[in-house]
Chain A
Amino acid sequence: MPGFIESLLAAPAVAPALLIGSLVAVTSGVVGVFVVLRGQSFAGHALGDIGTTGAAAAYLGGLPALYGFVGVGVLGGLAIEGLGERARERDVATGIVLSLMLGVGALLLYFMTQRTDATGGPVAILFGSIFTVDPSIALPVALFSLLALLLLGFLYRPLVFASVNPQAAQAKGVPLQGVGLLFMLALAIAVEESALVAGALLSTALLIGPAAAAVRWTRQIGAAAALSALLGLLAVSVGIALAYQSYFWPPGHRGWPVSFFIVLLVLTEYLLARLLPARAARRPLPRRKEAA
């Protein structure tokens, strides 16, 4: 076993994948707890797809994909938050923004396939792989992670209050709209950086899966955030190791996709949490009351 870990770390592309994957897993895990608490899974998933459109636009414009992801992701997040002020409208507003952005994305990807030099582009953007990530983006990814986590730290108390009981929070003078908007900003940053390094598919899995498992195991929000980050970290590192190992598996020694393993591990964590809930967490989390 030590031999396996040594050869794993010595392989090119594995160490940067582990480093960047860990950054993304921790950020998504922590932000995800609030997403689950606030019932914003759909927005969290939609932002990954929306960022893909930004990445395609950046690719066509010759800009780094990171700026496309984050720029368009933040705009999309603000549009979702702005169009869906009322709770009943949020679901549909998210859907319409997502639908329009996916449509524009389809158009941009079509243009990319028309350009002969860009045949790999759509596949790379849609199914981005952590193994092909450029190690030099570790620094901007780390900075964005820090920004998202600092934002959450700054928002922590009003955010918890506004998420658990918006009516009481409003009565106590918590500015719900401001808190919602700033949280959407942190969410967009977390989702877009993970969509960039791991693809839109994994960004949702790492955002929702570990957090949904963690809140079933502890009712304490700080502990849930730490546990969720840990579960995300576990899924990413074991997933990368398995994907590395799978180059020796049939068929054809091409390797199995890392996203498959990470999703499998995340789902296993969630199903375990559903099957074996902790005694303290049997009572459900304080139910989010709908704002009027």
Chain B
Amino acid sequence: MGLWQALFPAGLFTASFMQNAWLAGTAVAVLSSLVGFFVVLRGATFAAHAVPRASFAGAAGAVLAGGDTVLGLAIFSALSALGMASLGSRRDQGQTTALVLMAALGLGSLFLTLGGAYAPEVYALLFGQIVGIGRADVFAILGLLLLALIATALLYRPLLWSSVAPDVAEAKGVPRRRMEILFLLLVALAATAAVPIVGALLSFSLMVGPAAAAAYFGRSPGQALAVAVLIGILSIWFSLVFAYDTGLPVGFFVAAVTAVFYGLGRLWAYLWKIERGGGQVPA
């Protein structure tokens, strides 16, 4: 009984900020693992890391200009996604991702310096926070989730094809470049929703970890997607409980829990001698 109460103190579910955190966290987890499924399929982990990281510079710019930080996040994540999609070529996607990220972070360091003090608001965006989520934020995140769900439902098959077999997809009339732009905009959408809660450094954990683990468990793309969403939700729930109990940053727990799920996935593949995983479509 003592352990139970230590793990689940009363305020965990009744405090109003925690209720917001549960709602927003769950929505962010669904959104991130949905987008993450395509991230892992496309081998776009670097982009999933770079877009939220680049969006941080937008928040720093918004503080300098006296604007809304979430608007700054949204603008910079969309701009960096478009930059990566338009500058990149098949041969050097990693290079252009790195250079677009550098451009954003260089601007970010300029904004931070010119803005003077290292604003705590900006610091929170780096590492995330669960105490500051208001009811309005919850509705905004639910709106972003709805948008992403509609976009994925409309684009599911072409996006899947262009991820798994880009040449075949192109031959069937799915333009590679356009799918890349749409995909990166989805990553930007997920980043905008996740950064205020999980932080710019760790929102990619929620995109990559669950989907990477699910690639070892699911037997078909649909199953892998469902498992990814399930693992994503479990990860954020575990993390919220641990963060509330210990007072430590939620981003740490998200990274640790998703890494454990990935380790379980690899163990599972090892035990059952499954030769897929790491982003391959479970065929």
Contact = CB atoms under 8 A, between A and B. Distances in A.
A132 to B, nearest CB: 13
Interface stretch (B149-157, B182-190, B250-258): B250-258
A98 B40 CA distance: 15
A259 B106 contact: yes
A178 B94 CA distance: 23
A92 B48 contact: no
Contact of B46 (A45, A263, A287): A45
Contacts of B112: 127, 257
B108 to A, nearest CB: 8
A128 to B, nearest CB: 11
A91 B249 CA distance: 26
Interface in A180-217: 201, 204-205, 208-209, 212
A20 to B, nearest CB: 19
B106 A103 contact: no
B212 A92 contact: yes
Contacts of B262: 96
B98 A263 contact: no
Give the contact-size bracket for chain A. 35 or more
B201 interface: yes
Nearest to B261: A96
A210 to B, nearest CB: 11
Interface stretch (A6-14, A34-42, A140-148, A169-177): A34-42
Nearest to B213: A96
Interface stretch (B7-15, B140-148, B219-227, B275-283): B275-283
A45 B278 contact: no
Main secondary structure on B side of the interface with A: helix
Contact of A91 (B46, B201, B202): B46
Contact of B278 (A93, A252, A260): A93
Interface of A: 36, 39-42, 44-46, 84, 86, 88-96, 98-100, 102-107, 109-110, 123, 126-127, 201, 204-205, 208-209, 212, 251-252, 254-257, 259-260, 262-264, 266-267, 270, 284-285, 287
28 contacts: A39-B92, A39-B94, A41-B98, A42-B98, A44-B98, A84-B278, A91-B43, A92-B208, A92-B279, A96-B209, A100-B255, A100-B256, A102-B255, A103-B252, A103-B255, A123-B118, A127-B109, A201-B106, A201-B109, A208-B98, A209-B102, A212-B99, A262-B106, A263-B103, A264-B106, A267-B103, A270-B99, A284-B91
The 8 closest A-B pairs by CB, nearest first: A103-B255, A89-B278, A263-B106, A41-B94, A95-B45, A99-B205, A42-B46, A107-B252
Given A96-B209, A102-B202, A201-B106, 4 more contacts: A95-B48, A99-B205, A201-B102, A262-B106
